[in-house]
Structure 1
Amino acid sequence: MFSRRKLIQTAGLGGLALGGAGLLPAWAKPASAGNLGLPALTGTRFDLTIGKFPVRIDGRAGEAVGTNGTLPAPLVRFREGDDITINVTNTLHEDTSIHWHGLLVPFYMDGVPGVAFPGIKPGETFTYKFTLPHNGTYWYHSHSGLQEQLGHYGPLIIDPKGADPVAYDREYVLVLSDWSFESPHRVFAKLKKNSEVYNFQERTVPEFLEAADKRGLGAAFEDRAMWGAMRMSPTDIADVTGATYTYLINGHSTADNWNAVFNTGEKVRLRIINASAMTIFNFRIPDLPMTVVASDGLNVQPVETDEFQIGVAETYDVIVEPKEERAFALVAESIDRSGMGVATLGPRPGMRAEAPPLRERPTLTMRDMGMAYHGNHGSMADDQQVSSGMDHGEMDHGEMDHGSMDHGAMGHEPKQEDEHAGHDMGGQGTTSTEQRHDHKRGVGVDMVAMAPVYRLNEPGLGLENVPHRALTYADLRSLEPNPDTRPPGREVELHLTGNMERYMWSFDGVKFSEVVDPIVFHEGERVRMTLVNDTMMSHPIHLHGMFFDLANGGGDHRPRKHTVIVKPGEKLSYDVTANHVGDWAFHCHLLMHMHAGMMQVVSIRPRMAMNDAMDHEKMDHGSMDHDAMDHDKGGHEDMDHSKMGHGGKH
């Protein structure tokens, strides 16, 4: 029998649980609570308040920083072409901001402190105003400190002003995210002290014995010795893992069982947003094919698949047509397979689909180091062929002769995308490749990719050998022809660099706090950006303020995106039309990587005379107040972008 004390305690816990459910916006509540996928906030004028509030995640109490007291934030929904006003009030004791991810807003409305505006001070209200010429699935989040990890993110849908080319009967928004009860600043400090602190999936003795049985004892020992000498781990797939994260779908853990309903034969549109801080997900619905119809908010030619990798900040829209009256599992599995978030799509509210077991975690090979490209990913032969003679301290990136490399032999890029190389670009001169820095060496760069390769035709780490279809970037084609098909007039090459052991991240070996000059585009020009990943981690790279045309062999129907995952050892390119004058953030969307320095600024200069009032040449981009940056208690850099003086000149 319950005692009176026990009864009161039980009632109190029930109240907390109900309170936690009440903190979810209407669109994120399960079907059993009456959610039909309807929008929460619609119209042309919105009022949002940023503050702290209690949450209950997976049965445990915590505190979030977010919008209007909900986790995730309310769904903001409006129509393409409308004049939008959004008032954002800050009730925190620190600066905050909202960045409208993927939206083509004026740069001073982009919401990046230190680049686009000063930030929103405590007690102040900032009004965002813009009119957008596009529609689709997007999201919004903080660009201040590490607030994004604390819950400051939400979905945003722009409905087309005309007919939608995608036909569907009902829709659901799925916001994927990661939650930790540890302070994000503590997480960052721990990574600085030991970058593998959250990796509990190291290789084991049984795995060594299995490798010895397959390859021989000598080869297996040589492989282990090589990784040890490099002070790297082939299982170092994700910096922050299920060891501290609870993976969420619409603010619900797997145990909470967020569920959506369907009628058999309906076409259900799922708008999938990766709003996590540090987690690349592999998304699938076992036994239910998905037809991808949009990527990063823009329509693509429909392509059917069974699974896809979705980087932090990417969005995908898919259509599913359940033919059976049964529950289907919506599975978002972390790239390192240390955990997953699972929800249910079923014919009746409250159903629970069986969560599949976690799959075997993937491992890195020399191919992911950009050292070899032989056969299938994961081939032990790759490691063996290049395991000797590697001295990372002696690698001289600056001596790489990119011009003499046979990119065709390495599969670097589809031939049709290389046709622009070396041509005269309409009087703009011959295409030239600009390397912004001499690939700075030092403690911040622990390795380089000596032979980076084209990998857009690969589905992503861990999906190479799955027994079903897995989407690749090479599969994507835009629905409409690309609006600008001019060949690029020049090429800018950037290297993604880092030192995993010291947890330092940068572009070209230069972290954001050391950047003096921005990456300069000129209004109206067509530029090719080439990214080379010198690290052994996948990086979702995001360019603010513009879409880019990914060089994936799609001709005039290349997919137009705002974020792309650059795989380890990969070299990829995309073309950008510099239409939107202003300063735009360009960064890795893994929050801790950006925080550590993997960020720069792309400055689009106007055609007008350079002595005009917007004379960017006279702007002091190097005037950041580096002394104002926060440093964590461990003495490592803990960047507070809201205190940077970079954008104040505007």
Structure 2
Amino acid sequence: MVHLSRRTLLKGAAALGAYGIGLGAASLYRSAEAATPVTLEAKTADALLDGQHLTKGVMTYGADGAADAMTGPPMPPTLRLRKGEPFAAKLINRLDEPTTIHWHGLRVDNRMDGVPFLTQPYVYTGDSFDYAFTPPDAGTFWYHPHCNTLTQMGRGMTGLLIVENPEDPAFDAEIAVNLRDWRLGSDGQFIEQFKPRDAARNGTFGTVRGANWQVEPAFDAPAGGLVRVRLVATDVTRIYTLKLAGADAVIVALDGQPLPAPVPLDQAVLGPGQRADLVLRMPDGEGQTVSLVDARPSTAKTVATFRATGSSLKRDLRAVAALAANPFTPPDLKNAEAVPLVLSATAENAARESFCGSLGYSFWAINKVPWPGDTSDPTAPLAELKRGRTYLLNLENLTPHLHPIHLHGMNFQVVSSSVRSVPPLISDTYLVLPDEKVQLALVADNPGDWVLHCHIIEHQKAGMTSYVRVV
């Protein structure tokens, strides 16, 4: 769940009593009638990431008919699906190492989840893998490898995925924004992806901050229009505190799930893996701009701007209606079974393989055991859940750091927090505060082995990961 400020929540409590497709990024759409799947090639490229130097060894996805025709940076294409319609993609690996694709936030068949050895084998160099699923939910999602993730994601393999709902209202424009950093030296080339001392804390931050593979990109949108802005935090470390300067907006969805009613935006905190859908009311004057500002941690930074074009459409933000809800089975809290999940540091510092690769350190743990554990069965699931039963994930953060905890394959509903008021929102990722105890309720409705991990990738790779089994 994306965290909202107290002011935003108070506004939301009161509220509750198509033009363009991903401007600034290539989009690729396949309807149910398409005879062939989307082809996604995992490959390397060169790209202008810092605005000054051509960075070599970038990792990305090329897609048939989309990425190769791009006039901008070779960012992974934005994939567009439709709710309830079949989708297929063929991954072809042109990298010099194995890879996979995980469809972040989508409730797919377990065999399609993209986790090496847990749900599928490696896709080795020159090999391919066929993914196929029908998305049950509309919203803003993304895709990335689940293999050698710190390197592959850190070097670029994070693409946006949008599932459209024909019942959604029409907007005057739509802009999809891929928020992420890069670890580059002064010459624009990649430097070491992480520092051990930082991996044991908040994580290692990038040196170049960007959006859609550009530094402070500018997007055009109709003056006086209502613009749907899809924000996706695909960074491996950074937590964003996002505000708008120069215009008003409402939040209509968080982590792919529509809100019961639009909530006026004060600020939204997005951890790695999280998403927020805004409806922005553009200024009326031609050339007037709106800034998307990251206020975290201390010095505000403009990450993107929106420029008004043409004569004003004179839209009214108060006319924005709620999006249609996605299907969700309400949890049976009276008969729920508790699953303890204690997040902590560990002093072991031993190299562990994790699901794919190792950082050479174990700094983090779930239930006091870094993954994989040192029990008689070190790769056993954290819990075995019975299909159709309700479970309460009792997350307790014993560390002084924030952890965006992401669950594959299922959605949960926020029940309570020990440190703040929380709305009963539905999500796949929860940003746990330091010393917070939170209850997340879910119905175990998707059989298989589902990874649960911190989406600060250094934390994941250094022990804060495991999985639950639904039988």
Would you say same fold, with TM above 0.5? yes
Q: Deviations over 1:219-251 (max 9, x none)?
A: xxxxxxxxxxxxxxxxx7x3323xx42111111
Q: Residue in 2 aligned with 1:46?
A: 38
Counterparts in 2 of 1:268 and 1:110: CA distance versus 1, 3 Å: same
Mapped pair 1:57 → 2:45? no
Q: Residue in 2 aligned with 1:344?
A: 305
- Whichever residue aligns with residue 154 of structure 1, its letter is G
Mapped pair 1:272 → 2:231? yes
Q: Residue in 1 aligned with 2:380?
A: 517
How far off its partner does 1:169 sit? Answer: 1.6
How far off its partner does 1:65 sit? Answer: 1.0
Q: State which of 258, 265, 273 in structure 2 corresponds to 1:313.
A: 273
How far off its partner does 1:341 sit? Answer: 5.0
How far off its partner does 1:483 sit? Answer: 2.9
In the superposition, the TM-score normalised over structure 2's length comes to 0.78
- Whichever residue aligns with residue 431 of structure 2, its letter is I
Task: Tell me how far apart the structure 1 counterparts of residues 190 and 402 of structure 2 sit (CA, whole Å).
Answer: 21
RMSD over aligned Cα atoms: 3.0
Task: Tell me how far apart the structure 1 counterparts of residues 300 and 224 of structure 2 sit (CA, whole Å).
Answer: 32
Counterparts in 2 of 1:53 and 1:118: CA distance versus 1, 3 Å: same
Q: Residue in 2 aligned with 1:580?
A: 446
> Greater share of helix residues, 1 or 2?
1
Matching of residues 34-113 of structure 1 within 5 Å: 39-44=27-32, 45-58=37-50, 59-62=52-55, 63-68=57-62, 71-113=74-116
Q: Which has the larger radius of gyration?
A: 1
Task: Tell me how far apart the structure 1 counterparts of residues 167 and 324 of structure 2 sit (CA, whole Å).
Answer: 17
Three-state SS of the structure 1 residue aligned to 2:372 is helix
Three-state SS of the structure 2 residue aligned to 1:594 is helix
Contact 1:283–1:331 at 8 Å: present in 2 too? yes
Task: Tell me how far apart the structure 2 counterparts of residues 600 and 566 of structure 1 sit (CA, whole Å).
Answer: 17
Between Structure 1 and Structure 2, how many residues are aligned?
398
Contact 2:137–2:326 at 8 Å: present in 1 too? no
Q: State which of 153, 156, 164 in structure 2 corresponds to 1:159.
A: 164
Three-state SS of the structure 2 residue aligned to 1:175 is strand
Counterparts in 2 of 1:125 and 1:185: CA distance versus 1, 3 Å: farther
Counterparts in 2 of 1:130 and 1:196: CA distance versus 1, 3 Å: closer
Counterparts in 2 of 1:137 and 1:545: CA distance versus 1, 3 Å: same
Q: Identity of counterpart residues, as a percentage?
A: 27
Task: Tell me how far apart the structure 2 counterparts of residues 478 and 490 of structure 1 sit (CA, whole Å).
Answer: 30
Three-state SS of the structure 2 residue aligned to 1:285 is strand
Contact 1:478–1:559 at 8 Å: present in 2 too? no
In the superposition, the TM-score normalised over structure 1's length comes to 0.57
Q: Residue in 1 aligned with 2:430?
A: 564
Three-state SS of the structure 2 residue aligned to 1:279 is coil
Q: Residue in 2 aligned with 1:149?
A: 154
Q: Residue in 2 aligned with 1:247?
A: 209
Three-state SS of the structure 1 residue aligned to 2:435 is coil
How far off its partner does 1:196 sit? Answer: 8.3
Q: State which of 329, 345, 360 in structure 2 corresponds to 1:483.
A: 329
Counterparts in 2 of 1:481 and 1:85: CA distance versus 1, 3 Å: closer
Matching of residues 204-603 of structure 1 within 5 Å: 238-241=202-205, 244-254=206-216, 258-300=217-259, 301-325=261-285, 326-333=288-295, 335-337=296-298, 340=301, 342-348=303-309, 483-487=329-333, 488-499=335-346, 504-514=363-373, 515-518=378-381, 519-552=383-416, 558-603=424-469
Note the residue ranges of structure 1 that are not aligned, 5 or more in a row. 1-25, 31-36, 198-235, 350-475, 606-650
Three-state SS of the structure 2 residue aligned to 1:513 is coil
- Whichever residue aligns with residue 328 of structure 1, its letter is V
Three-state SS of the structure 1 residue aligned to 2:391 is strand
- Whichever residue aligns with residue 276 of structure 2, its letter is Y
Q: Residue in 1 aligned with 2:192?
A: 186
Determine which structure has greater relative contact order: mean sequence separation of CA pairs < 8 Å that are 6+ residues apart, divided by chain length.
2
Q: State which of 99, 117, 120 in structure 2 corresponds to 1:117.
A: 120
> Greater share of strand residues, 1 or 2?
2
- Whichever residue aligns with residue 237 of structure 2, its letter is M
How far off its partner does 1:316 sit? Answer: 0.7
Task: Tell me how far apart the structure 2 counterparts of residues 138 and 307 of structure 1 sit (CA, whole Å).
Answer: 20
Task: Tell me how far apart the structure 2 counterparts of residues 85 and 482 of structure 1 sit (CA, whole Å).
Answer: 24
